[in-house]
Amino acid sequence: MANVSRGALQFANSDREILKAYLPPKDGNDEIQRPFTTLTFATSLDSSLALSPGTQTVLSGPQSKAMTHYLRSRYDAILIGVGTAIADNPSLNCRIEGVGGYGGNGLEGQPRPIVVDPYLRWDFSRSTKVLSLADEGKGRAPFIFCAKEPQEEKVKLLESLGGKFVILGISDTGPLKGRLDWVDILQGLAWHGIKSVMVEGGGTVINDLLRPHYASLIDSVIVTIAPTWLGQGGVVVSPPRRVSAEGNYLAAARLKEVKWHPLGEDVVLCGKL
Ligand SMILES: NC(=O)C1=CN([C@@H]2O[C@H](COP(=O)(O)OP(=O)(O)OC[C@H]3O[C@@H](n4cnc5c(N)ncnc54)[C@H](O)[C@@H]3O)[C@@H](O)[C@H]2O)C=CC1
Ligand SMILES: Nc1nc(O)c(N)c(N[C@@H]2O[C@H](COP(=O)(O)O)[C@@H](O)[C@H]2O)n1
């Protein structure tokens, strides 16, 4: 095939069409309180994201992987928890043919990686994948959302590549004790000019955001389901169930406006909360 950059992925126009209703508007409003937010991850038939918390597990086949990269080109930012940053050493860039670094101009189409790391557990260096890709002009350097003052040397490294630390207040009482509130995280993203964010994981982050308390923050959900059971002990997507006023158990969450779309051996499920 002519004019295709080495290693770049392709995602068919016909498959793009099915996702349209679940993606951020192309001409978003500048005056936003929070970004358009999509939860998107790959899961097994037993709702596992990975074989164990510290393990990266390939679930998506080639076509759904290309879909994830197409999604990455449609969002301003891609967010993960620090557990994923440590376990996966991910690239968090977009490798679709035609985006910046893969045949396109500058960094056009490359999302901003966001890592939620309140206590600065992620010990990154210039050779950490996401930073080295930023260095090579194949992705953006991350913004790290934290709750404590970072080391000067880490600030310098991150800022030299175009990234930054964003310090937010942490709750010291109530159900959010020791955690960052997602309302603050999303407002912080909007404040830093991010109008759309795709949240990839991991389990802790997705289970948190699927709680009814945060449903109004989520605009869409796009899940790749792979035809495999990972078995017990994995990182499972299973938010806490609800209890009615009468004390009966209720489903934690259910999608509406649902579409199922087969992609290779996987199926992609799109919906709204
Ligand atoms: N199949 C898939 O699509 C994906 C799979 N994964 C897998 O998930 C696993 C990692 O998942 P987890 O261990 O659950 O880690 P995680 O990536 O969800 O990160 C959890 C950590 O992030 C921080 N955090 C998240 N939300 C916070 C909040 N509101 N306030 C304060 N801190 C917060 C905390 O330090 C917490 O311990 C890895 O094995 C990875 O490979 C991750 C992303 C996508
Ligand atoms: N879509 C999807 N399918 C899988 O099978 C996965 N394991 C993941 N994981 C997520 O993608 C990140 C890795 O991205 P790079 O290829 O390194 O850019 C990983 O950290 C998870 O967030 N996703």
pLDDT (tens digit per residue) in 42-57: 999 999 999 998 899 9
Cβ(222) to ligand 1 under 6 A?
no
pLDDT at residue 79, rounded to an integer: 98
Q: Which atom of ligand 1 is nearest to the CA of 90?
A: 41
Q: Is the pLDDT of residue 270 over 80?
A: yes
pLDDT at residue 173, rounded to an integer: 72
CA of 87 to the centre of ligand 1 (A): 9
Q: Is the pLDDT of residue 4 over 70?
A: no
Structure tokens at 237: 């997507």
What are residue 145's DSSP bridge partners? 116, 166
Residue pLDDT, tens place only, 64-106? 999 999 999 999 999 999 999 999 999 999 999 899 999 999 9
Q: Is the pLDDT of residue 116 over 60?
A: yes
pLDDT at residue 130, rounded to an integer: 98
The pLDDT of 6-10, averaged and rounded, is: 78
Q: Which atom of ligand 2 is nearest to the CA of 40?
A: 1
Average pLDDT, the chain: 93
Find out whether 200 and 83 touch, Cβ atoms under 8 Å: no
Cβ(104) to ligand 1 under 6 A?
no
**Ligand 2 mutation pick, 92, 204, 224, max ligand atoms within 8 A of CB:** 92
Q: Model's pTM, two decimal places?
A: 0.95
Residue type, 201: G
pLDDT at residue 210, rounded to an integer: 96
pLDDT at residue 2, rounded to an integer: 39
Tell me if ipTM is over 0.95: yes
CA of 245 to the centre of ligand 1 (A): 31
DSSP designation for 15: H
CA of 78 to the centre of ligand 2 (A): 11
CA distance 210 to 199: 11
pLDDT at residue 29, rounded to an integer: 67
Q: Which atom of ligand 2 is nearest to the CA of 68?
A: 1
Q: Which atom of ligand 2 is nearest to the CA of 56?
A: 7
Residue pLDDT, tens place only, 68-77? 999 999 999 9
| Burial class of residue 82 (count of CB atoms within 10 Å of its CB; 0-12, 13-18, 19+) | buried
The pLDDT of 204-211, averaged and rounded, is: 95
The pLDDT of 11-30, averaged and rounded, is: 87
Cβ(203) to ligand 1 under 6 A?
yes
CA distances from 132 to 31, 114, 188 (A): 33, 16, 25
Cβ(55) to ligand 2 under 6 A?
no
Measured from the alpha carbon of residue 68, the closest ligand is 2
pLDDT at residue 90, rounded to an integer: 97
Q: Is the pLDDT of residue 214 over 50?
A: yes
Cβ(211) to ligand 1 under 6 A?
no
CA distance 38 to 20: 13
pLDDT band for position 31 (50/70/90)?
Answer: confident
pLDDT at residue 6, rounded to an integer: 63
CA distance 126 to 131: 6
Measured from the alpha carbon of residue 238, the closest ligand is 1
The pLDDT of 181-210, averaged and rounded, is: 96
Q: Is the pLDDT of residue 1 over 50?
A: no
pLDDT band for position 144 (50/70/90)?
Answer: very high
- Residue pointed to by tokens 């969450």: 253
CA of 6 to the centre of ligand 2 (A): 20
CA of 241 to the centre of ligand 2 (A): 27
